[in-house]
C-alpha cells in the first residue's frame, strides 16, 4: 500500500510546504537493486579507539569491495564505522565523542553508522564491561538523531571467538538491505560452520523452506532467497494452493500446500524436504495469524488456534527436522517474531505471547543448535506495509508509520533482506540474535 504522506514529503511542492509548516519530512529509503544486490558503494570513513581490535581487519576487507575508504581530513559525505572495542574507561569514551562530533555532519542521506564493541561478558574486567554496555545507549540515541535523514545506526558486539565472523554483519549493515534496520544490536560469536560463499549469490544451489509463502512478507522472503540463488520450498494452507503454486513456479521453487497445524504436518514437511535434498540449508517460520481481542472477551478458540499456528507448529516442525541431520553443519533456523512480542500491544495478549515465545525459542536453542553447526535467529517486524496493516484504521495506520526514527513504515522486502542475511553462509557466527525490523519504532524502543 502506498504512503501518500511519504510521497508528498518527497515531491518538489511537498518539500516546500512541509518545511514551511514544520512537518516531519521522511526520506525515501534506498533499497537493494533487484538486478544487482549486495553491491556496496559510496565512501566510508573508519575510525578506532586507542587499543581497538578490529580496525585493520575492517579496512582490509573494505578494500576488497567497491567502497572508497576515506581520509578523515577530507570533508565529504560518507558512511561512518567506529571500532570502540578499545574503550575501557569512562575517560576513554571521549574518543567515541570526538570521532562522531567531528564527522556526523558528513553523513549522506540514507547513510550508515556502525559501531563495533565487545560483548560485556567478553571484556577484560568489570570496568570495561560496564563501559562497553554504554554503547547500547549511545547507538540508540544517535539513531534517533540521524533517522530523519533516512540514515541508520547499528551496533555490532563481538563475543569471544567472534572476530572471525565480523565481515558479514558489517557488509550487511553497510548495504541497502539494512534500510529499515535501525538502532539494533547484533552479536558475532564463534562461527559454527563454514562461511565460504559468493557475496552476490550466497545461497546458490541451497534449499530453504518458507512457511506462509503465498503472499505478503512470506512471498517477499521467498523472492529474496531465490534472488540470492536458493531453491525455495514454499508452504502455505491448501486454500492458497493456486497462489502458492504460481508464486513458486515464478521463482523456480517448489510448492507444498499444507496446513502446518494439522496432524502429522511436521512429518509431512520433513519427509518432503528429505525427498528433495540430503542437506536442507534452512527454514523460515513466517506463517502466522492474529486474532485480536481484549482478554476479557477473547474466546478459548481465538487463543488456542493462534497458538497452534504461531508457536505449536513451529516447535513441532523444528523437532521433526532436528530428529534428522538435514540441518546439521551449516543449517539455519529463522523465526518471525514481532515488536508486539517485545513491547506488548492492547488486544494482543495471545499474539504477543506467541511472538515472545518465538524469541524465547531463539534464546533457549542457540547453544544446542550451535553444537550441531546450526544457527537460530529471529526478526521482529514493526509496522510493515502489508494487506494486514492496510486494514488498520487511517489514523492508527498513520501513527504506526510516523512513530519511528525513519518516519515511515517498512516494506515486506525489508524483513526479507534481514532474513536473507541470517541464512547466508557468511553469517555462521550470527547465532541467538533477535533483530527488530521497525525503523526504530517508539513502541518498545
Alpha carbon separation from 251 to 29, 45, 223, 230, 317 (Å, rounded) = 26, 38, 7, 9, 24
The model's pTM: 0.95
Look at residue 402 in the predicted model and tell me its pLDDT.
73
The answer on 378 and 270 residing in a single domain is yes
- What mean pLDDT do residues 260-272 have? 98
Spatial separation of the C-alpha atoms in residues 224 and 218, rounded to whole Å: 10
In a domain, 22, yes or no: no
Look at residue 393 in the predicted model and tell me its pLDDT.
59
The answer on 167 and 242 residing in a single domain is no
Burial of 373 (0-12, 13-18, 19+ CB in 10 A): middle
Q: Listing from the earlier edge strand, what are the strands of the sheet with 43-48?
A: 68-69, 43-48, 79-83, 112-118, 152-158, 185-188
Please determine, for residue 390, whether its predicted confidence score (pLDDT) is greater than 60.
no
In a domain, 240, yes or no: yes
**Domain boundary residue, one of 131, 160, 188:** 188
pLDDT tens-place string over residues 403-422? 889 999 999 999 999 999 99
- What mean pLDDT do residues 302-329 have? 98
In a domain, 196, yes or no: no
Spatial separation of the C-alpha atoms in residues 303 and 7, rounded to whole Å: 39
**In the annotation, is 351 catalytic?**
yes
Q: Are 414 and 181 in contact (CB under 8 A)?
A: yes
In a domain, 10, yes or no: no
The answer on 303 and 177 residing in a single domain is no
Between helices 126-146 and 94-103, what is the axis angle to 10°? 20
Pairing of strands 79-83, 112-118: parallel
Kindly name the residue from 5, 54, 97, 351 that is annotated as catalytic. Answer: 351
Please determine, for residue 187, whether its predicted confidence score (pLDDT) is greater than 60.
yes
Q: Which distant-in-sequence residues (6+ apart) come within 8 Å of 397 by Cβ?
A: 389, 390
User: What confidence category does residue 443 fall into, taking pLDDT thresholds of 50, 70 and 90?
Assistant: low
Alpha carbon separation from 30 to 113, 172, 177, 190, 288 (Å, rounded) = 15, 14, 9, 32, 28
Spatial separation of the C-alpha atoms in residues 142 and 115, rounded to whole Å: 11
The answer on 331 and 240 residing in a single domain is yes
The answer on 160 and 238 residing in a single domain is no
The answer on 233 and 167 residing in a single domain is no
Please determine, for residue 223, whether its predicted confidence score (pLDDT) is greater than 90.
yes
Q: What is the DSSP letter of 105?
A: G
Q: What DSSP string runs through 254-276?
A: EEEE--TTSTTHHHHHHHHHHHH
Which cell numbers hold the place of 30? 534506498
Sign (positive/negative) of CA torsion 213, 214, 219, 223? positive
The answer on 212 and 164 residing in a single domain is no
Which cell numbers hold the place of 243? 497462489
Which cell numbers hold the place of 176? 541497502
Angular region, 29: left φ>0, alpha ψ -120 to 50, beta rest: beta
Look at residue 5 in the predicted model and tell me its pLDDT.
67
The answer on 278 and 158 residing in a single domain is no
**Domain boundary residue, one of 188, 222, 254:** 188
CA angle, 353 then 293 then 394, to 5°: 105
Q: What is the DSSP letter of 108?
A: P
The answer on 374 and 262 residing in a single domain is yes
The answer on 218 and 121 residing in a single domain is no
pLDDT tens-place string over residues 194-216? 999 999 999 999 999 999 999 99
In a domain, 18, yes or no: no
Among the listed residues 420, 422, 423, 418, the one whose alpha carbon sits nearest the alpha carbon of residue 439: 418
pLDDT tens-place string over residues 18-73? 677 776 778 999 999 989 999 999 999 999 999 999 989 999 999 989 899 988 88
Q: Which helix (H) or strand (E) holds 376?
A: strand 375-381
Q: How far is CA 63 from the centre of its chain?
A: 25
- What mean pLDDT do residues 252-262 have? 98
In a domain, 56, yes or no: yes
The answer on 157 and 53 residing in a single domain is yes
Strand partners, 430: 188
Name the domain count of the chain.
Answer: 2
Among the listed residues 47, 113, 56, 109, the one whose alpha carbon sits nearest the alpha carbon of residue 79: 113
Least trusted range by pLDDT, from 1-10, 96-105, 225-234: 1-10
Burial of 83 (0-12, 13-18, 19+ CB in 10 A): buried
User: What confidence category does residue 6 fall into, taking pLDDT thresholds of 50, 70 and 90?
Assistant: confident
**Domain boundary residue, one of 158, 188, 218:** 188
Which cell numbers hold the place of 191? 562461527
Among the listed residues 407, 349, 350, the one whose alpha carbon sits nearest the alpha carbon of residue 382: 407
CATH number for 123 = 3.40.50.720
In a domain, 199, yes or no: no
The answer on 245 and 167 residing in a single domain is no
Look at residue 74 in the predicted model and tell me its pLDDT.
79
- Domain housing 58: 31-188
Among the listed residues 229, 191, 209, the one whose alpha carbon sits nearest the alpha carbon of residue 277: 209
In a domain, 24, yes or no: no
Amino acid at each position: 500500500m502506498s504512503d501518500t504522506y511519504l510521497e508528498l514529503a518527497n515531491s518538489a511542492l511537498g518539500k516546500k510546504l512541509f518545511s514551511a509548516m514544520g512537518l516531519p519530512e521522511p526520506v525515501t529509503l534506498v533499497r537493494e537493486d533487484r538486478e544487482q544486490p549486495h553491491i556496496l558503494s559510496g565512501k566510508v570513513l573508519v575510525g578506532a579507539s586507542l587499543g581497538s581490535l578490529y580496525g585493520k581487519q575492517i579496512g582490509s576487507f573494505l578494500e576488497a569491495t567497491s567502497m572508497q575508504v576515506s581520509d578523515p581530513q577530507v570533508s565529504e559525505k560518507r558512511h561512518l564505522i567506529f571500532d570502540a572495542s578499545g574503550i575501557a574507561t569512562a575517560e576513554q569514551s571521549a574518543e567515541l565523542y570526538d570521532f562522531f562530533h567531528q564527522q556526523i555532519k558528513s553523513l549522506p542521506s540514507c547513510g550508515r553508522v556502525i559501531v563495533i564493541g565487545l560483548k560485556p561478558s567478553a571484556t577484560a574486567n568489570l570496568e570495561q564491561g560496564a563501559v562497553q554496555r554504554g554503547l547500547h545507549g549511545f547507538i540508540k540515541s544517535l539513531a534517533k538523531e540521524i533517522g530523519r535523514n533516512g540514515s541508520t545506526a547499528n551496533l555490532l558486539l563481538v563475543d569471544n571467538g567472534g572476530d572471525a565472523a565480523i565481515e558479514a554483519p558489517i557488509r550487511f549493515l553497510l548495504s541497502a538491505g539494512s534500510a529499515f534496520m535501525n538502532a539494533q544490536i547484533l552479536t558475532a560469536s564463534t562461527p559454527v560452520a563454514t562461511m565460504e560463499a559468493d557475496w552476490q549469490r550466497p545461497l546458490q544451489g541451497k534449499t530453504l523452506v518458507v512457511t506462509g509463502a503465498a503472499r505478503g512478507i512470506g512471498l517477499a522472503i521467498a523472492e529474496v532467497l531465490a534472488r540470492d540463488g536458493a531453491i525455495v520450498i514454499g508452504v502455505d494452507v491448501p486454500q492458497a494452493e493456486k497462489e502458492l503454486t504460481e508464486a513458486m513456479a515464478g521463482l523456480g521453487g517448489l510448492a507444498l500446500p499444507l496446513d502446518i497445524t494439522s496432524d502429522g504436518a511436521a512429518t509431512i514437511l520433513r519427509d518432503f524436504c528429505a525427498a528433495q535434498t540430503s542437506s536442507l540449508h534452512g527454514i523460515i517460520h513466517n506463517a502466522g495469524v492474529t486474532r485480536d481481542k481484549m482478554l476479557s472477551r477473547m474466546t478459548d478458540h481465538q487463543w488456542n488456534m493462534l497458538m497452534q499456528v504461531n508457536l505449536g507448529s513451529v516447535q513441532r516442525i523444528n523437532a521433526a527436522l532436528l530428529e534428522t541431520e538435514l540441518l546439521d553443519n551449516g543449517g539455519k533456523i529463522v523465526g518471525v517474531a514481532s515488536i508486539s512480542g517485545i513491547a506488548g500491544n492492547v488486544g494482543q495478549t495471545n499474539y504477543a505471547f506467541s511472538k515472545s515465545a518465538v524469541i524465547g525459542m531463539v534464546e533457549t536453542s542457540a547453544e544446542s543448535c550451535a553444537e550441531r553447526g546450526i544457527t537460530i535467529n529471529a526478526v521482529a517486524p514493526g509496522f510493515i506495509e502489508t494487506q494486514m496493516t492496510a486494514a488498520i484504521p487511517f489514523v492508527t495506520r498513520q501513527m504506526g508509520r510516523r512513530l519511528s526514527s525513519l518516519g515511515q513504515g517498512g516494506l515486506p522486502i525489508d524483513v526479507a533482506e534481514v532474513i536473507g542475511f541470517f541464512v547466508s553462509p557468511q553469517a555462521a557466527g550470527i547465532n541467538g540474535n533477535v533483530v527488530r525490523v521497525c525503523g526504530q519504532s517508539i513502541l518498545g524502543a
